[in-house]
Structure 1
């Protein structure tokens, strides 16, 4: 992505909700060389932040609700979580949880767009979000998978004011033209039980090696390493607990 730090309206964080945090720690350490640190406070509920060097790059979290799926979640930065939640409702989305405070680090809410894709809004206080973007092992792109692209475009441009750049088969989102993500239309290749969702992509030094490492650590390769015409080399993977994520060759940001 063209963004190199969290900015209002852009992706600022990604976290994994998983059924087995300890297994996820081992898997992502093997795939991305992350160094996980679990918050020792009981009230933190086992929330674990993954680091590259001193930079926080992602989080691993237990499932906090009975119906919560194992999945990666994407957070977008807002100035006011309560006001942003109201904007989501006004644009046809749904507020699923919050807004609520997280210690002194920020205020968040979980919402869904009108097509069913869930994401989070983050109002930063002590914690602005990821300390590193686009470097190997860190977040570098976010992609909306939806069956209703026109409805999604209306929603996100209304709520966030994103710029939209549409190519022949792909739509890219941006902040004042600085692209950070895209949108793919879910066609018949997607099983009907797969809901609309946001998919994070992490930068890697070698897509083929990362895919092999993920498979070797117990994950699955859902989309084999592929060079997109006019775009990056990418793959889509799934961790042993079932969460999907993408990887792309670092330096090929959109």
Structure 2
């Protein structure tokens, strides 16, 4: 399970890139109870989502781009991570950029094309709320080659890779170095590379009190349901959805 304080390699921030920030704000406010707080003009309209006053993520307006959630992983040294990514076959997309006194952000693509980012925290430590209803709780990489992806991220972040039986196969998971399986915070899913999400991508999971109620709200609010709720033994009840601009995410009620 994801926990705080965040350690090297763990997901510590999420943000949404969307062509319609106002619509996204209304959608996530109604779905999760999030409130939007602008960071001001100097940050280009970037703003924070809060849940009961605690930072739950962020949002930014992006023009002529696919709407998607971005997941950031903690690093103590952004420059060293750039070298590790490139050495492992990934690509630098931007940065490292200093964000005032808050920290340093860097964007990458992994060898299969999935976008991810790192955050080197200074004043801004990352998410204030995780694992609670309406907040981020799990990251999942959808990719065409799970072993290759796991090897890449293990090389970059030192993740411990483990697996468990799952629906006739295995589910590969990751935990921080030295933390053990009880600290798993991410999983890997093999995709066929076809359909709307043909490119590999990172999918955020949000905890909810009732997956079925949340799915009904998604539809009412103009989003779409990509996978209807299902029960998974030992995991809980999950569903996959997308917001009105098409950004995919998952919902889960832990077992």
With the length of structure 2 as denominator, give the TM-score of the two structures: 0.93
Deviations 1:28-48 (A, max 9, x none): 0010010111122x2211111
The Cα RMSD (Å) is 1.4
Instruction: Please tell me whether the aligned partners of residues 2 and 10 of structure 2 are also in contact (alpha carbons under 8 angstroms).
Output: no
Whole-Å separation in 2 of the counterparts to 1:97 and 1:220: 31
The answer for the alignment partner of 2:175 in structure 1 is 174
Whole-Å separation in 2 of the counterparts to 1:199 and 1:141: 8
Distance 1:238 1:85, change over 3 A: same
Distance 1:5 1:201, change over 3 A: farther
Whole-Å separation in 2 of the counterparts to 1:240 and 1:52: 21
Alignment gaps of 5+ in structure 2: none
The answer for the alignment partner of 1:23 in structure 2 is 23
Whole-Å separation in 2 of the counterparts to 1:192 and 1:120: 22
Deviation, 1:192, is 7.4
The answer for the alignment partner of 1:144 in structure 2 is 141
Deviation, 1:232, is 1.6
1:94 aligns with 2:91: yes
Larger mean CA deviation between 94-103 and 55-64 belongs to 55-64
Deviations 1:52-78 (A, max 9, x none): 1121011111116x5x42100100000
**Secondary structure at the counterpart of residue 106 of structure 2:** strand
The answer for the alignment partner of 2:73 in structure 1 is 76
Whole-Å separation in 2 of the counterparts to 1:154 and 1:8: 17
The answer for the alignment partner of 1:155 in structure 2 is 152
Instruction: Please tell me whether the aligned partners of residues 100 and 108 of structure 1 are also in contact (alpha carbons under 8 angstroms).
Output: yes
Deviations 1:203-254 (A, max 9, x none): 11111101111111110111011111332211101100110001101x44xx
Instruction: Please tell me whether the aligned partners of residues 50 and 56 of structure 1 are also in contact (alpha carbons under 8 angstroms).
Output: yes
The answer for the alignment partner of 1:195 in structure 2 is 199
Larger mean CA deviation between 1-10 and 221-230 belongs to 1-10
Whole-Å separation in 1 of the counterparts to 2:85 and 2:197: 25
Aligned residue pairs, count: 247
Whole-Å separation in 1 of the counterparts to 2:200 and 2:192: 11
* Residue of 100, 104, 119 corresponding to 1:103: 100
Instruction: Please tell me whether the aligned partners of residues 229 and 239 of structure 2 are also in contact (alpha carbons under 8 angstroms).
Output: yes
1:1-254 equivalent positions in 2, closer than 5 A: 1-40=1-40, 42-63=41-62, 66=64, 68-168=65-165, 169-175=170-176, 176-177=179-180, 178-187=183-192, 190-191=194-195, 194-249=198-253, 251-252=254-255
**Secondary structure at the counterpart of residue 248 of structure 1:** strand
Deviations 1:161-218 (A, max 9, x none): 1111112321111112210010000037x42762000000011111110111111111
Whole-Å separation in 2 of the counterparts to 1:50 and 1:229: 32
Whole-Å separation in 1 of the counterparts to 2:184 and 2:3: 7
